[in-house]
A and B are shown apart, each in its own frame.
Chain A
């Protein structure tokens, strides 16, 4: 997996499962948390198996982000546009959540493909709600206009108490991400990952991708931003990147860029551990070859149930 999927796998699986066994009444009450502190809660009651209540809570916005009634601007319109009359927004939302949707499963389109597409859309609720302001700006970009009544600098929430910044213009939108990590190793890895990322943009075949740059100091447009320990990444989005079908993917990839980097930092750590383990194994082999004679290890039937690590292995474990 290189890119993160836009729909929540568990939500989709649950919805599909419910839609296929509509007659069977089940009690369902499940809550879970996704990356960047997006929380979900799903509820189906025995009495009303057709109705599914889905609640979503969003990351706490930082001071510079504007939230209207607990939601990013344009979210209500985006929900209505995406789901039509199949979904009802409950007001007020469930306690502790920003949004509660009532989905009537008996009204789903009968056509299998349409139903599937709709359920995927519901499972990507996060993209619809959190990406709504970004979508508004990018739609204006596609039409080569600037959205009215907007500041020249827009801050959008993507992690709890953290935002990324946009400078909408008629012919391009500049997106700036301050990258922050908690762990010192993560900071180093993320810094070099981002440098490689910018470098990779220059290879042939990627000429049409959005121009991207990385620097330790914030760009000039951002004057009073909080510090970022892994530098600032800037993308410039042109109208050709948001034409037609591309819009959805652009919105998703831009709104989860931090999660994408953090996922790949973790993957690189795993990759390095694999290499280190291989190296230790080869060194141990070399050591074993150097020994004059290896004493015969006793094999009993007891060894069948679990593999005993030798003393040497345990040492390498605790000090590696």
Chain B
């Protein structure tokens, strides 16, 4: 037997905002780190041939700069403290944009964070359902060529999110995954483990937009936040204080009546001068997540609320799956973590469904009573890394190792083996 299949597989879920990495069979990922690379680019900009004698030194410096980079939280703190490092975000809107940075990011994930030998482990990576086959090939190429992994499986993150709810008692592989990450929001219907590709909907509002909106609100109110830090502060405010309200007007009233109870304070230290500052956090606490339900307050380009998009998505799916899709709506991704997000979503969706049932009953004059449609939005405590957890569950089954693309296959056929995705063919 292949010795690497006796070791746990490495599961890495690269999101636009955070990367979740760990070993299969565990409940939690080992590390959750921001997907960012700080590269030292000062060597690249040096004019060539300025001094011919020191080319050896320049060459050596250039080679060393290749190892002179950081990822994750270290990258953020390095770029803040010194100006020689430039931040680069390899993934945007759920798609890998900068392959150099991505390769370096994986290198550090494997050798510095997980500290494993990539030749010893099978790998499970994730991708968004809309990833082009070319980029899947590219991923396979990097994994097999650079890291010599014995086997690779690239899974669709929404299917993994559905698999996260998979237990021995209940194995429901039909449902709608509402995946709101930092860079992309996708609504993916899955029937019996098959992705219904034609009904995938995506909306241009995601976690990053909430951050930008919070930042904008705070800036407009004139809060005393240093401009170079304001994005980071807005992100922290979003993660710590934002919640979903049931009614926006009532919530404004509540805040106005009891400001002491609802208004929070943020304390920080200015990065340049080191002087402490503090600012208030008010309406943005509930207005941030509200952009999913009333997008017109944030952008004028896109004004369809999230519940309506989900409803449209289910209505476009095959008719015999719709009831079970309504019954199992699964949330995944860090931006669904706001308090009461699932309640609000369920209420709004139920309203739409009931209104439609009522109007169709009125049309046929109440002769036939239809059975009420059950709407269920599920939320679980591991929502933030549900995709990772699903991957961990999947990769700990013995079938996983047979479903992987292996190094031998790669050497025989080339990177094109990664073009087809076994998840679309259905694994369960």
Contacts and interface: CB of A to CB of B under 8 A. Distances in A.
A262 B116 CA distance: 11
B115 A34 contact: yes
B111 A34 contact: no
Interface in B114-166: 114-121, 130-132, 134-135, 137-138, 141-142, 145-148
Contacts of B414: 318
A1 B142 CA distance: 20
A109 B279 CA distance: 38
A274 B99 CA distance: 8
Interface string A150-193: 00000000001000000000000000000000110010000000
Given A31-B8, A182-B148, A270-B104, A305 B117 contact: no
Contact of A306 (B22, B132, B142): B132
Interface in B379-428: 414-416
Contacts of B63: 271
Nearest to B407: A183
Contacts of A262: 117
B67 A32 contact: no
A270 B103 contact: yes
B107 interface: yes
Given A267-B67, A270-B104, A314 B93 contact: no
Interface in A101-125: none
A297 interface: no
Contact of B113 (A9, A160, A266, A274): A9
B415 A318 contact: yes
Given A270-B146, A305-B93, A33 B23 contact: yes
B108 to A, nearest CB: 7
A317 B138 contact: yes
B137 to A, nearest CB: 5
A29 B27 contact: yes
B28 interface: yes
A35 B115 contact: yes
A32 B22 contact: yes
Given A259-B117, A270-B104, A314-B134, A31 B99 contact: no
Contacts of A249: none
B115 A186 contact: no
Contact of A32 (B26, B94, B130): B26
B28 A30 contact: yes
A118 to B, nearest CB: 21
Interface residues of B, number: 54
B158 to A, nearest CB: 15
B224 interface: no
A39 B93 CA distance: 36
Given A10-B31, A32-B22, A34-B115, A266 B146 contact: yes
A202 interface: no
Contacts of B95: 306-307
A246 interface: no
Nearest to A36: B117
B117 A1 contact: no
B295 interface: no
A144 interface: no
A245 to B, nearest CB: 24
Interface string A288-320: 000000000000000011111100011001101
A273 interface: yes
Nearest to B141: A317
Given A304-B204, A317-B415, A33 B116 contact: yes
A301 to B, nearest CB: 9
Interface string B19-38: 00011011110110000000
Contact of A273 (B67, B142, B148): B142
A4 B114 CA distance: 12
A64 interface: no
B26 A186 contact: no
B147 A266 contact: yes
Given A10-B31, A271-B66, A263 B121 contact: no
B97 interface: yes
Contacts of B148: 182-183, 186, 266
Nearest to A35: B117
A1 B66 CA distance: 10
A80 interface: no
A197 to B, nearest CB: 13
A33 B120 contact: yes
A9 B26 CA distance: 17
Interface string B81-105: 0000000000001110101100110
B23 A31 contact: yes
A2 B67 contact: yes
Given A1-B108, A4-B115, 17 more contacts: A10-B113, A13-B31, A31-B25, A35-B115, A37-B7, A37-B117, A39-B7, A273-B103, A273-B142, A273-B145, A273-B146, A306-B95, A306-B130, A306-B132, A313-B134, A317-B141, A320-B141
6 contacts: A8-B115, A32-B30, A186-B148, A266-B111, A306-B93, A313-B134
Across the A-B interface, give the 3 residue pairs with the lowest CB-CB distance, nearest first: A35-B117, A309-B134, A314-B134
Interface of B: 3, 7-8, 22-23, 25-28, 30-31, 63, 66-67, 93-95, 97, 99-100, 103-104, 107-108, 111-121, 130-132, 134-135, 137-138, 141-142, 145-148, 184, 202, 204, 414-416
